[in-house]
Amino acid sequence: MTTVREPKQDRSRATRQRLLESTIVCLAEMGWGATTVAVVAEHSGVSRGAAQHHFPTREDLITAALEHMFDSRMQQAVAAAASAPAVQKTEAVLTGLMEYFTGPLFKAAVQVWTAAAADPLLKERIVPLEAKFGRVAHRTTIQALGVDDSDRATHHLVQATLDLARGLGLADLLTDDSARRGRIVTQWAATLDAALDATRSASAQR
C-alpha cells in the first residue's frame, strides 16, 4: 500500500491556521500577558519551533491573528445579512455586528488595544491595524445594509451604529448583558430604518 501524504504547503497552511485561531482563544481567555508564542503553540498542538518559523515574535503572531480573523468574521457577517428577509435586514445586520462585538475576536482585540496603550512599540503596529478594522467594518456595514455612503447623513448614521455596537460589546465584557442588548438592538434597528428612509427621501427631493 502507498501512503498519501499531505502536501507540505497544505500542512504549512493548516499549521498557520491553527496558530491564528488558538491565538484569539488564548487572548480572549487568558489575556495579553499570558498569550506567548509558547502558550499558543501548546494550545494549538504545534511545536514552538514551528510556531516561531511562521511567527518569529509574539507581536507578529497576534497582529496576524487579529487581521486574519477580523477579515473572516466580517465576510461571514455580510453573508448572514444578505440571506435575511428584506423587512428584517437592518436588525439582521445589527445582530451580526453584536455577535462580533461580543465574541472572542473582540475580547481578544480589547486585550491587545489595552496593552498597546501602555507600549509605544506595540501601539505603532496596532494603530494602523485598528484604523483598517474601522474602515472595513464601516464598508461592510454599508454593503450589508445596501445604503449609499456618499450621503453624509447616512455615513454618520452607520458610524453611530458601529460606535453603539462597540459600546454594547464593552458592556458585555464583565457581565452577561444579552437581555438588555437585545432590546436595544431591536429599538435601534427600527430607529435606524426610519432615519435611513428619511435620508433617502431628502436625497430624492434634492
Cβ proximity of 110 and 173 under 8 Å: yes
Task: Judge whether 37 lies within some domain.
Answer: no
Pinpoint the alpha helices (H) of the chain: 8-30, 37-44, 48-54, 58-82, 89-101, 104-117, 120-145, 152-171, 178-205
Q: Which domain holds residue 192?
A: 66-205
- CATH code, domain with 103: 1.10.357
20 in a domain, yes or no? no
Q: Which pLDDT score is estimated for 100?
A: 87
Q: Is residue 47 assigned to a domain? A: no
Res. 206: pLDDT tops 80: no
With 90 as the cut, is the pLDDT of residue 36 above it? yes
Is 177 part of any domain?
Answer: yes
The total of structural domains in the chain comes to 1
Per-residue pLDDT at 198: 86
Residue 102 lies in a domain: yes
| Range in 25-39, 83-97, 137-151 with the lowest mean pLDDT | 83-97
- As given in the structure block, the three cell numbers for residue 1 are 500500500
Model pLDDT, residue 6:
55
The angle that helices 58-82 and 8-30 make with each other, rounded to 10 degrees, is 90
Domain membership of residue 3 (yes or no) is no
Give CA–CA dist 77/54, Å, rounded.
Answer: 28
Cα separation, 158 vs 139, whole angstroms: 9
**Chain centroid offset of residue 89 CA:** 20
* 22 in any annotated domain: no
Q: Percent of the chain beyond pLDDT 70?
A: 90
Range 183-194 average pLDDT: 94
